[in-house]
Amino acid sequence: MPFSTQFAPTSQEVGSCIECGLCLPACPTFRITGLETASPRGRLTAMSAVLAGQAIDETFTEMMDGCLQCMACETVCPAFVPFGRAMEGAKAEIAVARNSMSIRIRRLILGRFLAWRAVVRLATAAAAVLQRTRMSVLIPKALRSGFRSLRPLPIWSSSRVGRTSKPLGEGRSRGTVGLMVGCVMDPWFGQVNDVATRLLNMAGYVVVTSAEQSCCGALAAHDGSAQDARRLAHRNASAFGAVDMVAVTSAGCGAHMKQYEHWTEGGDIFAAKVRDITELVADAIDKGWLPTVDRIAGPIAIQDPCHLRHAQRVVDEPRMILQAAGHEPIEIDSTGTCCGAAGVYSVLQPELSGRLGVQKAEQVRAAGPRIVASANPGCEMQLRQHLGEGYQIAHPIEFYADAIGIMERGHS
């Protein structure tokens, strides 16, 4: 079956590739395998073959499933091929054309369960109990290593949605920021959201965490559950209809929400309001709304999440935040290669994901510092898994909050 849905890669998207190959060295899967079939150019060639009438077969599915959707190819592409969009389209097509049981289960989890807070909290509570009892053997094997690299989970997490907090101290409000708390971010990385709220308040913003918000839909979109992704995008766009800006603490969610134009009507207007939290905090530091620390603290290795660096092109902000906290940011990788976490990729393609994780860990070790800043939960877990004991990993704004004395760094 050739492409059949409205989400399919278009001939315009695919045809904008001039086949120059400049994306090849940036692509982690090409780098590791040396296969044109595991490269952006090869994947686009395959899409155009299907556009020309070729069936969506097993080979096509494998080629697309191998993609990390890390967007490194978009960063270097001279023709600005919208690769990420085309790949989401290809995934949506695969989901329809190859409607296997495992795909259906995945769609149920990514498209539905993640959006149900009660389900996520229940799962979190269960995981928290297993963490405390060290019973990780009860976790399915594919998920076990991911489980072990979680931060300590709360057994009972009261969700942050539905709250409003006002600017701290004097001064008038600089506007209202809607905080996207995220589906798993909320219970698993709640501290990052708390710090974000504090910093935004300090900077003079009103922070609202609309009760209507839901999972951003990125994982659903990346996995081909296009209808679910649309539904979630629509819901979030209306939930945050009234705010001036939307702050996102997970780079993966932010990257997706900045692309809402593809997923919901009026999504472009919404997308223009979306900011990664590092953008807002760096801006506030720059404007003097948040303090800069004089004290010199130690160096911190900086890891760029693909969905921040490549998808959102946010590179300087996390570094600036660390500098404002008195830390010296240490580069680990000049091109920002994917760490292999890549959403559900680590579960679906454990082998390649693992190789990239090992590679990233080697880069961190070579850089020196045993403290790493990463602005994305998935990357944080991947780093923790591959770095092992003795490394401290947190979000850049957590290091900043620590330095200006508004929080304790309570985890490793």
Partner 1 sequence: MSSALAGELRSILGDDGVLDRQLELHVYGKDSGITRGEPSVVAFPESTEDVVAVVKAAKRHGVSVVARGSGTGLAGGAVPLEPSLILALTRMNEIEVVDVENRSAWVGPGVINLDLSNHTYSDGLHFAPDPSSQSVCTIGGNIANNAGGLHCLSEGNTVNHVLALEVVTADGDVIELGGPAPDPIGLDLRAVMVGSEGTLGIVTRALIKLTPNPTAARTLLMSFRSVEDAAKTVSDVIAAGVIPAALEMMDRLMTVAVERFIDAGFPTDAEAVLLAEVSGHEAAVEAEAEIIRAIADDNNAIEARVASDAKERQRMWLGRKSAFGAIAQMNPDYYLHDTVVPRTKLVEMMRNIYEIAERHQITMLNVFHAGDGNLHPLMSFDASEEGVIERVKAAADELLAICVALGGSLSGEHGIGLEKRDSMGLVFNEYDLDAQARISEAFDPDGSMNPNKVLPSGSRCFDFGRPIPEGTWV
Residue 159 site contact among ligand FAD, partner 1, ligand SF4, none (CB < 5 to 8 Å, cut-off depends on kind): none
State which residue, 37 or 227, has the beta carbon closest to partner 1: 37
Please report how close the Cβ of residue 41 comes to ligand SF4 at its closest, in angstroms. Answer: 4
Closest among 169, 171, 192, 172 to 182, alpha carbons compared: 192
Stretch of 40-48, 92-100, 131-139, 197-205 lying at the interface with ligand SF4 (CB under 6 A)? 40-48
Closest among 358, 369, 376 to 312, alpha carbons compared: 376
CA atoms in the 13 A half-sphere facing the CB of 236: 39
State which residue, 7 or 83, has the beta carbon closest to ligand SF4: 83
DSSP 84-117: HHHHHHHHHHHHHHT--HHHHHHHHHHHTGGG-H
The reply to whether 407 sits near ligand SF4 by the rule CB under 6 A is: no
- Grouping H, G, I as helix, E, B as strand and the rest as coil, residue 227 is helix
Q: ∠20-43-378 over CA atoms, to 5°?
A: 110
Please report how close the Cβ of residue 78 comes to ligand FAD at its closest, in angstroms. Answer: 8
- Strands, E assignment, 263-368: 274-276, 299-303, 328-331
150-189 positions binding ligand SF4, by CB under 6 A: none
The reply to whether 366 sits near ligand SF4 by the rule CB under 6 A is: no
User: Binding residue for ligand FAD (CB under 6 A) from 20, 52, 358, 366?
Assistant: 20
The reply to whether 76 sits near ligand FAD by the rule CB under 6 A is: no
- Footprint of partner 1 on this chain (CB under 8 A)? 15-16, 18-22, 24-25, 34-37, 42, 45-46, 49, 54, 57, 59-60, 63, 77-80
State which residue, 18 or 272, has the beta carbon closest to ligand FAD: 18
Look up residue 332 and give its DSSP letter. S
Please report how close the Cβ of residue 231 comes to ligand SF4 at its closest, in angstroms. Answer: 25
Cβ neighbours, 10 Å, residue 115: 20
The reply to whether 35 sits near ligand SF4 by the rule CB under 6 A is: no
User: Binding residue for ligand SF4 (CB under 6 A) from 50, 68, 281, 404?
Assistant: 68
**Residues 348, 351: Cα–Cα separation, whole Å:** 9
Compute CA 172 distance to the chain's CA centroid, rounded to the nearest angstrom. Answer: 33
User: Binding residue for ligand FAD (CB under 6 A) from 2, 15, 21, 350?
Assistant: 21
State which residue, 22 or 130, has the beta carbon closest to ligand FAD: 22
User: Binding residue for ligand SF4 (CB under 6 A) from 8, 64, 71, 367?
Assistant: 71
The reply to whether 18 sits near ligand SF4 by the rule CB under 6 A is: yes
Alpha-carbon distances, residue 227 vs 6, 53, 213 (angstroms): 10, 24, 17
Q: Count of residues binding ligand SF4 (CB under 6 A)?
A: 26
Is residue 93 within 8 Å of residue 157, measured between CB atoms? no
**H or E stretch including 268?**
helix 267-271
Please report how close the Cβ of residue 311 comes to ligand FAD at its closest, in angstroms. Answer: 24
The reply to whether 40 sits near ligand SF4 by the rule CB under 6 A is: yes
The reply to whether 79 sits near ligand FAD by the rule CB under 6 A is: no
Please report how close the Cβ of residue 288 comes to partner 1 at its closest, in angstroms. Answer: 27
Residue 27 site contact among ligand FAD, ligand SF4, partner 1, none (CB < 5 to 8 Å, cut-off depends on kind): ligand SF4
Please report how close the Cβ of residue 129 comes to ligand SF4 at its closest, in angstroms. Answer: 36
- Whose structure tokens read 């951003």? 216
**Residues 228, 236: Cα–Cα separation, whole Å:** 12
Q: Quick one: CA torsion of 371, 376, 380, 386, rounded to 10 degrees?
A: -110
The pair of structure tokens assigned to 308 is: 């921040």
The reply to whether 282 sits near ligand SF4 by the rule CB under 6 A is: no
Is residue 301 within 8 Å of residue 330, measured between CB atoms? yes
State which residue, 33 or 392, has the beta carbon closest to partner 1: 33
The reply to whether 69 sits near ligand SF4 by the rule CB under 6 A is: yes
The reply to whether 83 sits near ligand SF4 by the rule CB under 6 A is: yes
State which residue, 17 or 387, has the beta carbon closest to ligand FAD: 17
What's the sign of the alpha-carbon dihedral 123, 126, 131, 135?
negative
- Residues lying near ligand FAD in the complex (CB under 6 A) are found at 20-22
